[in-house]
Amino acid sequence: MAPAVTPPRGMRDFLPADKARRERALSTIRSVYAAHGFDEIETPALEESARLHSGLGGDNEKLAFAVLKRGITGPELHEAAAHGDPLALADLGLRFDLTVPLARYYASNRAALPPVFRALQIGPVWRAERPQKGRFRQFVQADIDVIGEPGQLAEVELITATSAALEALGLRECTIRINDRRILSGILEHCGFDPARSTSVLIAIDKLDKIGVAGVVDELAEFGADAAAVLGGLLEAIEPVLAAGGAGMSAAEILAVLPEGIDPDAVAELEALAGSLSALPEAVALRFDPTLVRGMGYYTGTIFEIAHPASGSSVGGGGRYDGMIGRFLGQEVPACGFSIGFERILELLPAEDGSAERVLVLYEKDAHPERLVAAKLALIAGGASVRLERKAKNLRAQLERAAAEGFALVGTVSAEGEAVPELRPLA
pLDDT in tens, 274-302: 999 988 888 899 999 988 988 666 788 99
Tell which residue, 415, 412, 413, has the closest CA to residue 424.
412
pLDDT in tens, 160-195: 999 999 999 999 889 999 999 999 989 888 888 888
> Binning pLDDT at 50, 70 and 90, where does residue 83 land?
low
Sheet with 358-363, side-by-side order of all strands: 385-390, 358-363, 409-413, 424-425
**Looking at residue 196, what is its pLDDT?**
78
Alpha-helical runs (H) found in 192-313: 198-205, 208-220, 225-243, 251-255, 264-276
Sign of torsion over alpha carbons 16, 22, 23, 28? positive
416 or 219, greater pLDDT: 219
**Looking at residue 353, what is its pLDDT?**
54
CA angle 41, 47, 53 (to 5 degrees): 125
pLDDT in tens, 372-412: 998 899 999 888 889 999 999 999 999 999 988 888 899 98
**Looking at residue 126, what is its pLDDT?**
95
The mean per-residue pLDDT over the stretch 121-146 comes to: 91
Average pLDDT, the chain: 87
- SS3 of 47, please? strand
Give the number of C-alpha atoms closer than 13 A to the C-alpha of residue 382, restricted to the C-beta side: 14
- Give the least confident one: 13-22, 45-54, 148-157, 291-300: 291-300
Domains, the chain, with CATH or none: 16-348 (3.30.930.10), 358-425 (no CATH)
- SS3 of 233, please? helix
**Looking at residue 91, what is its pLDDT?**
86
- Angstrom distance (rounded) from CA 396 to CA 393: 9
**Looking at residue 418, what is its pLDDT?**
65
**Is the pLDDT at 2 greater than 70, yes or no?**
no
1 or 345, greater pLDDT: 345
**Looking at residue 105, what is its pLDDT?**
95
Q: Is 235 exposed, middle or buried (0-12, 13-18, 19+ CB in 10 A)?
A: buried
Q: State the Rg of the chain over Cα.
A: 26
**Looking at residue 153, what is its pLDDT?**
96
Task: Please check whether residue 90 is in contact with residue 69, taking contact to mean a CB–CB distance below 8 angstroms.
Answer: yes
Tell which residue, 197, 183, 73, 47, has the closest CA to residue 126.
47
